[in-house]
Chain A
Amino acid sequence: MAVGGQHSGLCDDWRTLNCKLDDGPAPRAAIGLITLSTDNVIEGEVLSFLPAEGVALYRSRIPAAAKNTPEGLAAMAPQIGGVAAMLLPDDHLDVIAFGCTSGAMVIGPAGVAAAIHTARPGVAVSNPVSAALDGLRALGAKRIALLTPYPDRTNAVVGDYVAGQGFEILAKGSFKQAGGPVIARIPPEDVYEAGVALGGTAGVDALFVSCTALRVASVLQRIEDRIGRPVVASNQALAWDCLRRAGVGDAVPNAGRLFSL
């Protein structure tokens, strides 16, 4: 394809510069990401798990409830389609991800996919909880430790959901905080300490750190090295799943065992 040939003469002193178009900035993977309005963490963390060349992450935001209660999370469902519609509407996307772990559990992965498909029929879809549980299965983990930042009522939803997917939860811990802005201020070192404490529980196959607004990327590999078991985190699993769905199988350094599968 080439552009520049259709010189109309409307503005004669504009020189027409012909050029041959290429495959654009994301020939390997074009990923759309629906981000919570309050999430200050997911964009940077997901990008840290993506290869730099030929992969792009396009973001658009959805209004989030101030508190991440089950009711507030469920209220996002009707808005997902409208947000998905704004992600490169006339262009190809390899996958659209819904960037909220607890929201995906409350709405349900099927509900999230259906909402995205109202705007983008047929596009591959990802969300952090399906991605993380697929990741845990791919790692052969059945008995897991769970770390979240959520308040108790959301933790109850998360615990039930994960158990309902066939995992045995041997340990579960939470920072018990409400809302993206507060969760974003939990230092990675606190995630490290809590992750080591829970992930070191006897009999655990893997640790799952839930929530896209939690800063995990800088300590994930250190937790794995310390506990000697794989760590799966929401943003890491989301990046892994989106890349896999786009057909990109790159190993990513310091991103945990998941990326070496």
Chain B
Amino acid sequence: MPDTAVPAASIPPWEKMAVTFDKGPAPVAKFGLVCLDCDQVIESELRIFMPIPGVSLLSTRIPLGGQGTPETLAAMEAHIPEVARLILPDDKLDVFIFGCTSGSMTIGPERVEAAVHKARPGVPVTNPVSAAAAALRQFGARRIALLTPYSDEINAVVGRYIASQGFDIAARGSFKCENGVEIGLVPPEAIYEAGVRMGRTDCDALFISCAGLRASSVVQRIEDAIGKPVVTSNQALAWDCLRRAGVEGSVPGFGRLLADR
């Protein structure tokens, strides 16, 4: 050792600090979330709909690669297992969320679940369209008004899927955004105006489809204005995750789905 080296005795050693262990940051529930690469909204909206201490939302992204079309949405299926592995791979998740409404309709909820199970056998899986359909059925809603931000091509998939689930579509309206970036830029007030307009048609409930829409701040106001239940993609996801994980308690302020649970 050269003479200039610091004598070992003068370097303080690493002291071993006392440590115990608790149940970690998510003693109530851990939810894994796969969101679209372009989604600017779902991560924060889901947290807003689940303001519950001890609940963790762990997210990662899946490549959509540009504009959402039936083809690009379907192509995500092949990526689901590899991204599912990235969320706490050695840990048990209470619910695994595939966070794309139109993608779930295009691929099909059963195939989404099968793809997740390739990487995470046995984990409960949810997606916005299955969650929303369950929520609408809980309200006994048969005639649905639909509000989406999608292109005509995706709207055709969505309309067919909702009808195939046994719902009548009383009215349907769309912002017809050209891509995922635009969907994130639809102002909440525009969702309010459009939601009230669609919800005032001859329907039992309003479904606002798309995890990329900023609906959390206007759900309650739309419900109050139309006097009917409002179900949105992210609100239904939060509701489905909480009930599947056995987390009880009302979440007021975001419509009767979360308030009356």
Chain A residues engaging chain B, CB cutoff 8 angstroms: 1, 3-4, 6-8, 10-11, 13-26, 30, 35, 37-38, 40-41, 43-44, 47, 56-63, 66, 85-91, 147, 152, 155, 159, 169-177, 181-182, 184-187, 190, 193-194, 197-198, 215
Contacts and interface: CB of A to CB of B under 8 A. Distances in A.
A135 B230 CA distance: 46
Interface stretch (B136-144, B175-183, B238-246, B251-259): B175-183
B187 interface: yes
Contacts, number: 208
Interface in B167-193: 171-182, 184-187, 190, 193
A200 B162 CA distance: 63
A8 B40 contact: no
Contacts of A190: 17-20
Contacts of A155: 14
Interface in B210-226: 214
Given A25-B184, A171-B15, A91 B38 contact: yes
A24 to B, nearest CB: 5
B19 A40 contact: no
Q: Which of A60, A61, A169, A215 has the most CB of B within 10 A?
A: A61
A40 B30 contact: yes
A253 to B, nearest CB: 18
Contacts of B56: 40, 43-44
Given A184-B24, A187-B21, A11 B155 contact: yes
A40 B86 CA distance: 12
A86 B175 contact: no
16 contacts: A10-B153, A10-B156, A16-B173, A17-B197, A30-B40, A38-B88, A44-B25, A56-B43, A56-B44, A60-B37, A63-B85, A90-B66, A147-B17, A174-B16, A175-B16, A190-B17
The 6 residue pairs across chains A and B that have the minimum distance between CB atoms: A19-B190, A21-B185, A194-B17, A61-B86, A15-B173, A61-B60
B28 interface: no
Contacts of B178: 3, 6
Residue from A41, A59, A176 having most chain B Cβ neighbours under 10 A = A59
A259 B244 CA distance: 39
Interface string B27-65: 000100000011011011001000000001111111101
Contact of A14 (B18, B65, B152): B152
A40 B25 contact: yes
Nearest to A32: B61
Contact of B38 (A20, A89, A198): A89
B176 A16 contact: yes
B40 A186 contact: no
Contacts of B83: 61
Contacts of A14: 152, 155, 159, 172-174
Contacts of A186: 19-21
B12 interface: yes
B148 to A, nearest CB: 8
Given A19-B190, A44-B25, A181-B88, 10 more contacts: A16-B174, A25-B41, A37-B60, A43-B57, A59-B60, A63-B85, A171-B15, A172-B15, A173-B15, A174-B15
Contact of A86 (B62, B88, B147, B197): B62
B16 to A, nearest CB: 6
